[in-house]
Chain A
Amino acid sequence: MKIAVIQFPGSNCDRDTVHVLREVLKLDTELVWHNEFQGNTFDAAVLPGGFSFGDHLRGGIIAAHSPATKAVIEMANEGKPVLGICNGFQILIEAGLLPGALLRNTSLKFVCKWMDLRIMSEKTAFTCALKKGSNMRMPIAHNEGRFFAEEETLNRLEAEDRVVLTYTGGNPTGTSRTIAAIANEDGNVVGMMPHPERSSEPELGGTDGLKIFESMMEWARC
């Protein structure tokens, strides 16, 4: 399995994500500069966190209209696993792969904090190695991560098991129904505000995030 981590101008969690996939999990991973990205040479894609294109206009929107994201949409349509972390989640929403919007935190401030999370669905490419209802800890770090969607959409997401992670013990950003991560209908595309790559080495605070990437391996096997 070959994984692409796509580097946009302004991405800043790209090398962290590559480090975890390559050095910790020993996966075949390539850091690809956005305008050199070819979807057909990879089996999975990760859109890392950061401030692609400086978050100009609004978070993720410029990257969402880049040729690289067009290739990511094709991969998603072919059923390949696609993960958007933080700014990557914003890009997936702006690209129309996931519903809703990510608004400014209600505190109007950037929030960097380790959070307790609950796994709400194990039917996705990034949670299939996890148990629904179990808990994990990962940090969040963002200014615009308040997931928002109309009631109807929220109900549908819940009914279709597409709410992937929720915050427990507090709502750090004012997000709808404490949602931290959602999936597309097929479960192969997931967007999440927490950073699994920051929760992948014990000395940094925990290794729960590894299970997100390990799920991707398991998904590819079946």
Chain B
Amino acid sequence: MLVGDIETTLTPDEMHYARQQLGREPNALEWAMIDAEWSEHCSYKSSKPIIEQLPTTGKRVLVGPGYDSGVVDIGDGYVLTFHIESHNHPSAIDPYGGAATGIGGVVRDILCMGTTPIALLDALKFGDIARSDHSKWLMKNVVRGIADYGNCIGVPTVAGEIEFDECFERNCLVDVACLGLGRKDELLLAQATHPGDSIYLVGGSTGRDGIHGVTFASRTLAVDTEKERSAIQIPDPFTKKLIIEATLEASQARILRGCKDLGGGGLTTGLSEIADKGGTGIQVYLDEIPIREPDMSPIEIMISESQERMLLVVVKGCEETLHRIMRKYGVSASCIGDVTSTDTISVKRSTETLASLPTGFLANAPIIDRNSRLPKPRKHEAEPKPPSDLENVLLHLLASPTIASKRWVFRQYDHEVGIRTIAKPGDADAAVLKLPNGKSAAIKVDGNARICDLDPYVGGASVLAECCRNVIAVGAEPVAWLDHCQFGDPNNEEIFWAFSQAVKGMADFARTMSLPCVGGKVSFYNQDEETGKAIKSSPVVTVLGLIERPEHVTKTSFKQDGEAIVAVGKTKRELGGSEYYHTLKLDGVRPPILDFEIERRTHTAVLDCIRNGLITACHDCSQGGFAVSLAEMTLAANRGVTADLRELPRDEMRDEELLFSQSNSRFILATNDPKQVLESISRHEIPAAAIGKVGGNSMKLTLPHGSLESGLDKMRAAYDDSLQRILEPWQN
């Protein structure tokens, strides 16, 4: 909506509300500030009523949603912080810069809690890279952007997930999660509580990059996206590295009262949020803000999203110490304002007040009560015919980009820096990081757009369940999680319905597991304006787990020949949303069901076995089904396996259905003591069976109606270099 010569995304209702609250017509600068702060991206005005149903409290939770990062108490005076951000819209236009600045943003979220970033994870979604050159280009540059930025700032990229589906062709999803470590008594919050404290802007100068970034992210991508280029920020990892060092040193010197990352909405959002949380006001002096270009208008300065900037609330009288620390690192620091007791955000240029808005009004956008509508039921699909050659199907699945080894990607990431990475990419179902108190952190991100598309409620819950299984598989107890909801245009009632259902599914499952959600993110408008096509519902979750003792760390790889294979959980005839169906260009009608109670008991049963030292290798059974998961274990160990799948706890079904069904609540374990493992698991009333042994050079499976054998070499050829063959066929 146009106000004077300012283009805003505010609705007539919101503008009416603003005028009513203020009792006057806001000026152009004030409209621009309201527009930035009330954007969907910053205000969560559509999603707030829905995400409020997520459980957020737990015995380890120190800080839950609403701050820059969630904070989890890990004992002995230490805390872990974690947060997730997406940079979907920028990455769709400038994949290299978009992905890089996405890391910059989430790293600042960790930093402003006074904690050190110790790991990055990314969840990426692209179109069909085997067919689309555009998606190939996006993927290569997103990965290079993450590598160049993450490697330079010295934070290891330790895990992730990548999904490929045609629906992401024009709207790739680029999510980055960051884990931080700090001391409980050094925690900072993004709030300005004490009038008289100084507000400092440190780091980069303010330029025209990232202008209207949040309003850009709060609508669908236009046909002529090149015009949006000024909405994308410019990455500078070297400056970021210096800011990390300088901010942590200032935080440890105890001269900071609060700290806030400047991301979406720029200064406007940063200032209004720290004042609102602190119950104060802020007086900003526009002339003190270092600007990159001489003729920037007050509006541009107040909403610019230039990267590598932090807001620090400095304890009165400690300004000189701050300057000394910033000088050491060559980081510029300017006092741009004061904390006041006026409950007003006011912007001054010399003596003239350019804007003056009540803190609470600016920081809290009116909530939008959106309608939702149940979509029409799916058409029934014809059942596929049985394949003529099971081995071909297996090899095809192992080479499919979603399943194939992600080595091409993670080789480009420094996953070792920081010397904490115990389970490295490709080693295990989740990353494992050494902590200073003898425990280890396990962390993983997961999503599955295909099952969420079939049923967002079951899909949302299943994505969280799978991510928990990944964390359990490495020997960790899940302690907290983050949600991240990515959907199309929320004005579409069916999309808003899917969003509500996905959140409800995650919330219900999290309550069953007593697993608190400590933060998250909502990204709407992932939709192509030209075709009107939205992405499939894509909730992504990050689960953090704790491993009590180093000997509990469990990886995917078998240790020696002769180990017994134990299958945990029942395989049902559930192929909806499976990779197997996807290779046949089928969606299916229903996703695999998720029985929350069985899932919970399965987690306890497997974790008990691991903690009792019975398990030598563990893998969650998910994408690609039982056959693919078992094949991944053989490839990790370079040891074959012989197994009889007639023994598998299962329903009656065809062989290919048994091999590739993606039923929930299943694990594959290796053990030297199958008797005790089976006894232990049966106490939790979970089905399990010893089905075979490790050894040989192939995966040899006896099936109810036939058999399947595939050599390690053949499977490796399909699995290992599939991404390389697609992305860089000219490299060997």
B241 with A51: CB separation less than 8 A: yes
CB distance from B557 to the nearest CB of A (A): 13
Q: Which of A9, A10, A13, A56 contacts B417 (CB 8 A)?
A: A13
B413 with A112: CB separation less than 8 A: yes
B412 with A204: CB separation less than 8 A: no
A204 with B421: CB separation less than 8 A: yes
Known: A9-B242, A203-B550. A16 touches B412 (CB 8 A): no
Known: A13-B154, A141-B151. A112 touches B416 (CB 8 A): yes
Bound-complex Cα distance A113 to B413 (A): 10
B731 with A107: CB separation less than 8 A: yes
CB distance from A80 to the nearest CB of B (A): 26
Q: Which residue of B lies closest to A205 (CB)?
A: B424
Q: Which of B410, B417, B420 contacts A12 (CB 8 A)?
A: B417
B416 with A198: CB separation less than 8 A: yes
Bound-complex Cα distance A9 to B243 (A): 10
Known: A51-B241, A56-B238, A197-B419. A110 touches B434 (CB 8 A): no
B411 with A113: CB separation less than 8 A: yes
Q: Which residue of B lies closest to A111 (CB)?
A: B411
CB of A67 within 8 Å of the partner chain? no
CB distance from A151 to the nearest CB of B (A): 25
Return chain B residues, CB-CB under 8 Å to A133: none
Return chain A residues, CB-CB under 8 Å to B237: 51, 54
Return chain A residues, CB-CB under 8 Å to B147: 109-110
CB of B153 within 8 Å of the partner chain? yes
CB distance from A104 to the nearest CB of B (A): 13
Q: A178-191: contact bitstring with B at CB < 8 Å (1 yes, 0 no)?
A: 00000000000000
Q: A110-134: contact bitstring with B at CB < 8 Å (1 yes, 0 no)?
A: 1111000000000000000000000
Chain B, interface size category, equals 20 to 34
Return chain B residues, CB-CB under 8 Å to A195: 416
Chain A, interface size category, equals 20 to 34
CB of A19 within 8 Å of the partner chain? yes
Bound-complex Cα distance A44 to B378 (A): 71
Q: A129-147: contact bitstring with B at CB < 8 Å (1 yes, 0 no)?
A: 0000000000101010000
Return chain B residues, CB-CB under 8 Å to A33: 328
CB of B66 within 8 Å of the partner chain? no
CB of A42 within 8 Å of the partner chain? no
B417 with A141: CB separation less than 8 A: yes
CB of A150 within 8 Å of the partner chain? no
B411 with A112: CB separation less than 8 A: yes
CB of A50 within 8 Å of the partner chain? yes
Known: A141-B416, A195-B416. A12 touches B329 (CB 8 A): no
Known: A10-B238, A12-B241. A201 touches B154 (CB 8 A): no
Return chain A residues, CB-CB under 8 Å to B424: 205
Q: In the complex, which residues 459-503 of chain B have their Cβ closer than 8 Å to any Cβ of chain A?
A: none
Return chain A residues, CB-CB under 8 Å to B411: 109-113
Return chain B residues, CB-CB under 8 Å to A53: 238
8 residue pairs A–B, Cβ–Cβ below 8 Å:
A16-B419, A53-B238, A54-B238, A55-B152, A110-B147, A112-B416, A143-B151, A204-B422
